[in-house]
């Protein structure tokens, strides 16, 4: 089922890319021109051709080997790598997504895993995520007015087919594991779950673990205006999430994401004004403190640093921004860079500008 949908993605995605490119070309994030990159390169920052636009942080130990193995048909290596995440639910969720990528392209190895271990919760989770991912790519992330009837038709067929394996993944999971319920969040957005139905899903997640960062960022998407909420509801949810976290939990990321969503949705906003609002500056400072309190080895820190670099850039805090850019440079597949088609260009404009201004 998964592999057969790829052709539909290829045929349909062209319109999506064109629309997103238009949004990027006129977006607020392009109002400042990039500085000469030589100053950044002289300080050890990487040139454009060495920036990884697919990952937001370096691959985890064993990740590349696991991906190479499953693509070669060795599902056991993928299963072992997934199991090694243990009960780090953020990391398990991430690894399910990493494995779902090649499964959405060619699911032969995944089907072999499922046949050999039909009750394996990890295999069911990867299967569910891959099925939803294919449907979501066909649908695209743009609003309904920018989505074709053919996209909707194929999407609804695929998302309906994913529900059975999603339910199976939830049935097979460890009772403490929120990941299969987190995987349902994109379905909630795509199918337009009512607030009541989404509340039931969220309750299933938080009763298992109330502080999984990826669960909160997934919920924020549902509550954004572009899906089932509003700017005000999303911001309120983000602030409540941040308040529920202890130093180092990194839930301070939620308000930063909410503000990026707000700014990107309103094309008439001037980012150099918006990001200097007192509440945005306060949220930026809180996230800086949260990062300082976090375990330096925590892979999730990079997600916060990317948005911090963006905020600090627009707030004119160039030396602080350079510190964040230095920590993430090389891997830029993250918010806010990925919110436009030219993610590399957006990143370089901000990075090189901050380097130049900090030196001045």
CA 49 vs. chain centroid, Å, equals: 22
pLDDT at position 271 is 96
Question: Which tops the pLDDT comparison, 259 or 60?
Answer: 259
Q: Which of 315, 305, 328 is nearest to 282 (CA)?
A: 315
Structure tokens at 203: 């309750």
pLDDT score of 320: 98
Taking CA 168 as the corner, what is the angle to CA 94 and CA 156, rounded to the nearest 5 degrees?
80
C-alpha–C-alpha distance, residues 188 and 202, integer Å? 10
- Residue 15 has a pLDDT of 38
Instruction: Examine the pLDDT at 148 and tell me if it is beyond 50.
Output: yes
Q: Please choose, from the candidates 305, 323, 314, 313, the residue with its C-alpha nearest in 3D space to the C-alpha of residue 354.
A: 313
- Output the pLDDT for position 31: 54
pLDDT above 60 for 202: yes
Residues 6 or more apart whose CB falls under 8 angstroms from that of 297 comprise none
pLDDT band with cut points at 50, 70 and 90 for residue 248: very high
Average pLDDT over residues 312-316: 98
- Indicate whether this model's pTM tops 0.85: yes
For residues 282 and 245, the answer to whether their CB atoms sit within 8 Å is no
Q: What are phi and psi of 263, to 5 degrees?
A: -65, -40
Task: Report d(CA 198, CA 175) in Å as an integer.
Answer: 20
Cα 82 from Cα 117, distance rounded (Å): 14
pLDDT grade for 153, boundaries at 50, 70 and 90: confident
pLDDT digits (tens, 9 = 90+) for 51-102: 999 999 999 989 999 999 999 999 999 999 999 999 999 999 999 999 999 9
Which two three-digit tokens encode residue 234?
A: 């999303």
The whole-number pLDDT of residue 25 equals 37
pLDDT bracket for residue 360 (50, 70, 90)? confident
């Amino acid at each position: 089922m998964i592999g057969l949908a790829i052709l539909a993605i290829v045929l349909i995605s062209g319109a999506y890319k064109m629309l997103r490119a238009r949004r990027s070309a006129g977006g607020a994030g392009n109002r400042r021109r990039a500085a000469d990159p030589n100053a950044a390169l002289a300080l050890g920052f990487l040139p454009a051709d060495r920036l990884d636009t697919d990952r937001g942080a370096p691959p985890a130990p064993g990740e590349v080997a696991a991906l190479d193995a499953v693509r070669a048909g060795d599902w056991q290596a993928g299963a072992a790598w997934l199991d090694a995440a243990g009960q780090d639910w953020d990391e398990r969720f991430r690894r399910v997504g990493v494995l779902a990528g090649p499964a959405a392209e060619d699911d032969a190895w995944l089907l072999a895993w499922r046949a050999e271990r039909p009750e394996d919760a990890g295999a069911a989770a990867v299967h569910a995520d891959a099925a939803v991912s294919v449907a979501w790519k066909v649908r695209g992330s743009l609003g309904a007015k920018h989505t074709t009837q053919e996209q909707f038709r194929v999407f609804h067929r695929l998302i309906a087919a994913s529900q059975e394996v999603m339910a199976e993944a939830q049935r097979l999971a460890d009772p403490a594991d929120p990941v299969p319920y987190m995987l349902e969040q994109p379905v909630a957005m795509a199918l337009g779950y009512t607030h009541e139905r989404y509340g039931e899903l969220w309750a299933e997640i938080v009763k298992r673990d109330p502080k999984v960062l990826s669960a909160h960022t997934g919920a924020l998407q549902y509550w954004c205006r572009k899906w089932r909420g509003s700017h005000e509801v999303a911001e309120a949810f983000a602030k409540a999430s941040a308040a529920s976290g202890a130093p180092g939990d990194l839930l301070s990321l939620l308000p930063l994401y909410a503000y990026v969503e707000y700014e990107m949705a309103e094309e008439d906003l001037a980012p150099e004004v918006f990001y200097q609002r007192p509440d945005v500056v306060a949220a930026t400072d809180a996230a800086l403190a949260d990062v300082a309190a976090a375990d330096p080895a925590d892979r999730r820190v990079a997600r916060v640093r990317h948005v911090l670099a963006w905020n600090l850039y627009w707030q004119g805090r160039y030396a602080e921004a350079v510190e964040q850019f230095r920590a993430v440079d090389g891997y830029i597949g993250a918010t806010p860079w990925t919110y436009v088609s030219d993610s590399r260009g957006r990143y370089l404009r901000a990075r090189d500008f901050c380097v130049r201004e900090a030196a001045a």
